[in-house]
Amino acid sequence: MARALGAEPGGILSLDALLEEHSEAIEYDLIAFGLRLRMLGTDALCWADLRSIVKHLPLDSALLRVIHPEASRWKVAEHLLADVSDSLRWLAWARTDDGRRGRNQPEPIARPGRKSNRERVGTATELDQMNDFLGWNE
């Protein structure tokens, strides 16, 4: 079966599934462009146009807020503020007796998509596997 240059199979089906699940958010985002879902399939809004719009929506779009609610609340400023706060807490801790002994280090502020230090600590088996992978156990 011949395909147009750059076309991927299932494009319309994928969009249709997305529309079934998140039509209200997509409609809201389209309104910003002066479009409506009811225009889909016309010269005003073809399926390729909808695909391009959905694929390149800004990070603060309604669709991305619905799909990734936790991550969408964190913008660059929030990440930078969390980094500054973590740094200040670490500096204050470093001047304490615990800091000089290297214990009870403060937990960083939880960020979306990032595991806490306690969740990141690996077991000896995981460390051995990583050392094998890196070739350090040879």
- For the chain, domain boundaries: 11-72, 76-134
Tell me the residue type at 98.
D
Name the helix (H) or strand (E) containing 98: helix 97-101
At 124 the pLDDT is 56
At 90 the pLDDT is 94
At 6 the pLDDT is 46
Q: Split the chain (138 residues) into runs of 10 and give each run's mean pLDDT.
A: 47 86 94 94 92 89 88 82 94 92 90 65 62 70
| Cα 121 to Cα 106: distance, rounded to the nearest angstrom | 15
